[in-house]
């Protein structure tokens, strides 16, 4: 697992089907990106401005984390669109 922060490039990207942890970025990183999208299988972390779409909730811990099984498309504006592969 790499556990690395991957900066957004300003281009739309589609992340593969995986197990993603979604949570509010309480760390206060001053980038304006207020949500974290972390791939639990390889540790890749991306910070985004907003999360929308069809979430496939696989689990919610007792804290502030929600887990999504599916794909994630990150638009040029830094908006993560969740894709439930069972619906798409």
Tell me the pLDDT tens digit for each residue of 17-67.
999 999 887 766 666 668 899 999 999 999 999 999 987 777 666 667 888
Give pLDDT, residue 80. 95
Q: Residue 85: which pLDDT band, with cuts at 50, 70 and 90? A: confident
Q: Which of 87, 1, 78, 86 is nearest to 37 (CA)?
A: 78
Q: State the pLDDT at residue 82.
A: 94
d(CA 66, CA 8): 22
The whole-number pLDDT of residue 25 equals 76
pLDDT exceeds 60 at position 1: no
pTM for the model stands at 0.82
The DSSP letter of residue 11 is S
């Amino acid at each position: 697992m790499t556990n690395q922060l991957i900066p957004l490039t300003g281009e739309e990207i589609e992340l593969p089907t995986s197990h993603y942890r979604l949570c509010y970025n309480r760390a206060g990183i001053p980038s304006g990106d207020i949500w974290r999208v972390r791939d639990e299988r390889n540790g890749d972390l991306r910070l985004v401005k907003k999360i929308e779409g069809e979430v496939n909730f696989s689990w919610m811990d007792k804290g502030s984390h929600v887990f999504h099984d599916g794909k994630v498309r990150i638009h040029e504006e830094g908006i993560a669109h969740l894709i439930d592969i069972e619906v798409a």
